[in-house]
Structure 1
Amino acid sequence: MATPDWYRALVAVGDALAETDRAELAYWHGAAGADLDGTAPAHEYDVPPITVRLGSLGTAFAQRSAELTPEQSGRVLRILEDVLTSGSETDRNAVATGFVEALLNAWDLGHDLRAVWRLAGPRTREYCRAWNEFTGVPTPDWMTE
């Protein structure tokens, strides 16, 4: 599957995300992938599934958020919100089950997401609350404001 333009824009937001994607591509391709640029893989159709790549980015976003400026974090969340709002069903599902669920998993593991919560759009917030309800995780007050 070809890498969507919105994903390229997402990875280009900051070095932490680009490094994460390059590492995911290197892992996928083995030693041959070590020199791949995360935004333009040598074999455009030989990339990990977008949901897998988004899961890695969601985890990195939570773990390395201090490396991103508030503007960069906001840009990441706006790109994802745009996909959740007007992307294809496949892309919407990939963002939700890849990035957003990885972000929530990082929160479950102790990463404080309050700072980025205020930057998240309405679809992202709605999905987070619905996922918490589905999985039986109590939604904290700051996620309901």
Structure 2
Amino acid sequence: MKAFIPEFPDYWSSEDAAFNFGKDSTVHGVFSDFSTLVVERLEAGTLSNGEQLFSFIESVLAEGGDPANAACTCFLENILNRIPGPIDPNGFVPYLGPKSKEFCRGWDEFTGVKTSGL
């Protein structure tokens, strides 16, 4: 994750990280705290490596298991929960892979929100 947001390790070690419980931390907590920094950049329009970042997310979904569940429920959902609102879907939707889009469409259906571009 450092490859996409270089300051993530410092954030993860700080008191600002909501889900760093030391050795009791989970992959869900890591993805949730990582989403905080990604959301900040999406809101500001400063995410400069969206294609690479969302390609990584797609690869996690393709692998399956707990990391895929965390990427969906603690990363993609955290972004989608800000629509409509401060995030422009054009800042991330074009970079979503097929599995990510499928999840996001399902989340939209569940919440009754229509994310532009999905």
Normalization by structure 1: what TM-score? 0.66
Aligned-partner SS, 1:15? coil
CA–CA distance in structure 2, aligned partners of residues 140 and 88 of structure 1? 24
1:21: how far off?
2.8
Shift of 1:58: 1.8
**Identity of paired residues, percent?**
23
SS at match of 2:82: helix
1:99 maps to what in 2?
Answer: 75
Whichever residue aligns with residue 47 of structure 2, its letter is L
Q: 2:13 aligns with which of 22, 25, 30?
A: 22
Cross-structure match for 2:117: 142
Cα deviation 1:88-128 (Å, max 9, x = unaligned):
32111111111111111133442213121101111111111
Task: Give ranges in structure 1 of 5+ residues lacking alignment.
Answer: 1-9, 30-45
Query: Contact (CA 8 Å) 2:34, 2:75: kept in 1 or not?
Result: yes
Runs of 4+ in 1 over 4 A off after TM superposition: none
For 1:94 and 1:132, how far apart are their aligned partners in 2?
A: 18
Structure 2 residue 54 is the aligned partner of structure 1 residue 77: yes
Residue 132 (structure 1) aligns with: 108
**2:9 matched to 1:13?**
no
Letter paired with 1:22: S
In the alignment, is residue 54 of structure 1 matched against residue 31 of structure 2?
yes
Q: Tell me how large the CA RMSD over aligned residues is.
A: 2.4
Q: In the alignment, is the contact (CA less than 8 A) between 2:20 and 2:30 conserved in 1? A: no
**Higher Cα radius of gyration:** 1
Greater share of residues in helix: 1
Does residue 65 of structure 2 align to residue 89 of structure 1?
yes
Alpha-carbon separation, structure 2, partners of 1:127 and 1:97:
9
